[in-house]
């Protein structure tokens, strides 16, 4: 008896899912939105959102004109991080170039620089355009590192200095090259999947109400849970295909590694997609209008997934009220899963809190969608 009941329920769920598949086939824009847009946006944003700063335009004011000043300039430009844009005769002219935005920094080598190097009291002046705080910080850090490397050669004209009593060796874990793409792409994948998943299902039930086909659906012996599950299944399959396409694009275009457990990553993606699809379905049930559903879905998925997920801004830097609000954003936990699996090689023993949070959100949002879905027309 129980098996027969479950069999009939499963058949009705598959019937609803098949009906939704027909809607998707008749509207190819849905497939474009679901499959093509995330990959295209990942590539565009992956190249566009970059914190890497190189080929910095530099103005040089060499008032000494000696081997020491030329060697320091050569050390600045050898790594290709700085590019000499102009050589100015005076600091005032170089500052005019900086005000026009032609250069980001001005390197001033005063007269007598070589003699000061020999006596051990040399000074140089670096004037940095601080209008862009991120670029200015990186310019100062790069310049300091380059001067530290160049100092032994300048002091001894090529002779090595005595080794310091304490030697510091720095090793960067998980992203030794410091490439911003490895940081941005996992968060970007969660951000795009959240938006597309919510938008896909936000239009389903709202479309049924607008077309008047909901009355026909109510005349059938299909229950609320069967309608909800049947409508989610096709989009869940599309969402899993999205995950594969996005991860493939990230690995192929941006060389994002996969160091952790693929089953854990798949479980995280499954729970995240169920939650976001359920959120879109809840919006469509409440609004009953495709235009309003689209607006609400965009507002509730785009901004929270960008600002409160740790995609760009560290959650620890947010004010306390926003940190508390971020605990309600599923993209926060999926970003942690993606970066943990792809970059750090984490497994279930580390990521189980994030997976538990995703499962709880999916359960609550589906329960809310089914509770709000009433079999009546008023």
224 and 343 in a common domain: yes
Choice among 221-225, 244-248, 333-337 with the minimum mean pLDDT: 221-225
Give the Cα separation of 266 and 298 in Å (integer).
25
Query: What pLDDT shows up at residue 317?
Result: 85
Q: 46: which residues sit within 8 A by CB, 6+ positions away? A: 181, 184, 185, 188, 250, 253, 254
Query: CB neighbours (10 Å) of residue 277?
Result: 27
pLDDT above 90 for 236 = yes
Q: Quick: pLDDT tens for 7-17.
A: 677 888 888 88
Query: What pLDDT shows up at residue 96?
Result: 86
Q: Quick: pLDDT tens for 270-317.
A: 999 999 999 999 998 888 888 899 999 999 999 899 999 999 888 988
Query: What pLDDT shows up at residue 12?
Result: 83
| Closest to 237 (Cα-Cα) out of 206, 269, 262 | 269
81 and 146 in a common domain: yes
Q: For 324-363, b where at least 16 C-beta lie within 10 A, e where not — what string?
A: eebeebbbbbbbbbbbbbbbbebeeebbeebbebbbebbe
CA atoms within 13 A on the CB side of 298: 6
pLDDT above 70 for 160 = no
Query: What band does 45 get if pLDDT is binned at 50, 70 and 90?
Result: confident
Query: What pLDDT shows up at residue 21?
Result: 86
186 and 38 in a common domain: yes
Q: Furthest-apart CA pair in the chain: how many Å?
A: 98
End-to-end CA gap in the chain: 35
Pick the last residue of a domain from 104, 124, 156. Answer: 156
Query: What pLDDT shows up at residue 187?
Result: 92
357 and 276 in a common domain: yes
Q: Looking at the DSSP assignment, which residues form a beta bridge with residue 176?
A: none
Average pLDDT rounded to a whole number, residues 15-26: 83
Query: What pLDDT shows up at residue 161?
Result: 47
Query: What pLDDT shows up at residue 342?
Result: 94
Q: Which two tokens stand for residue 284?
A: 């469509």
Query: What pLDDT shows up at residue 282?
Result: 92
> What's the number of domains the chain is made of?
2
Average pLDDT rounded to a whole number, residues 348-359: 96
CA atoms within 13 A on the CB side of 24: 22
338 and 238 in a common domain: yes
264 and 136 in a common domain: no
Structural domain range at position 97? 56-156
Query: What pLDDT shows up at residue 169?
Result: 62
Query: What pLDDT shows up at residue 222?
Result: 76
143 and 196 in a common domain: no
Asked if residue 167 belongs to a domain, the reply is no
Query: What band does 72 get if pLDDT is binned at 50, 70 and 90?
Result: confident
Would you say the C-alpha torsion 124, 127, 132, 133 has a positive or negative sign? positive
CB of 85 within 8 A of CB of 54? no
Give the Cα separation of 63 and 107 in Å (integer).
11
Asked if residue 170 belongs to a domain, the reply is no
364 and 258 in a common domain: yes
Query: CB neighbours (10 Å) of residue 259?
Result: 12
Mean pLDDT over each residue of the chain, to the nearest integer: 85
């Amino acid at each position: 008896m129980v098996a027969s009941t479950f069999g009939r329920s499963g058949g009705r769920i598959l019937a609803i899912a098949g009906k939704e598949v027909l809607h998707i086939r008749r509207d190819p824009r849905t497939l474009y939105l679901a499959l093509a847009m995330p990959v295209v946006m990942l590539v565009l944003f992956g190249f566009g959102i970059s914190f890497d700063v190189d080929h910095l335009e530099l103005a040089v004011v060499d008032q000494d004109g000696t081997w020491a000043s030329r060697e320091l300039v050569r050390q600045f430009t050898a790594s290709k991080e700085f590019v000499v844009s102009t050589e100015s005769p005076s600091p005032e002219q170089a500052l005019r170039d900086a005000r026009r935005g032609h250069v980001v920094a001005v390197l001033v080598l005063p007269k007598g620089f070589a003699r000061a190097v020999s006596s051990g009291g040399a000074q140089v002046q670096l004037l940095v355009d601080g209008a862009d705080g991120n670029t200015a910080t990186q310019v100062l850090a790069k310049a300091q590192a380059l001067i530290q490397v160049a100092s032994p050669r300048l002091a001894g004209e090529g002779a090595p200095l005595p080794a310091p009593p304490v030697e510091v060796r720095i090793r960067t874990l998980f992203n030794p090259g410091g490439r911003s793409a490895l940081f941005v792409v996992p968060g970007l994948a969660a951000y795009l999947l959240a938006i597309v998943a919510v938008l896909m299902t936000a239009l389903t039930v709202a479309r049924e109400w607008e077309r008047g086909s909901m009355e026909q659906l109510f005349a059938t012996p299909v229950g609320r849970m069967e309608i909800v599950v049947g409508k989610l299944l096709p989009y869940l399959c599309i969402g899993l295909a999205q995950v594969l396409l996005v991860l493939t694009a990230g690995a192929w275009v941006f060389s994002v590694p996969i160091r952790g457990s693929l089953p854990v990553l798949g479980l995280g993606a499954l729970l995240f997609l169920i939650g976001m699809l359920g959120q879109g379905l809840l919006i469509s049930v409440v609004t009953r209008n495709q235009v309003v559903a689209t607006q609400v879905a965009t507002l509730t998925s785009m901004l929270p997934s960008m600002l409160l997920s740790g995609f760009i801004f560290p959650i620890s830097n947010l004010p306390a009220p926003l940190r508390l609000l971020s605990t309600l954003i599923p993209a926060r936990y999926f970003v942690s899963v993606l970066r943990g699996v792809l970059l750090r090689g984490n497994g279930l023993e580390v990521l189980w809190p994030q997976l538990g949070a995703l499962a709880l959100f999916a359960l609550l949002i589906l329960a809310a969608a089914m509770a709000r879905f009433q079999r009546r027309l008023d």
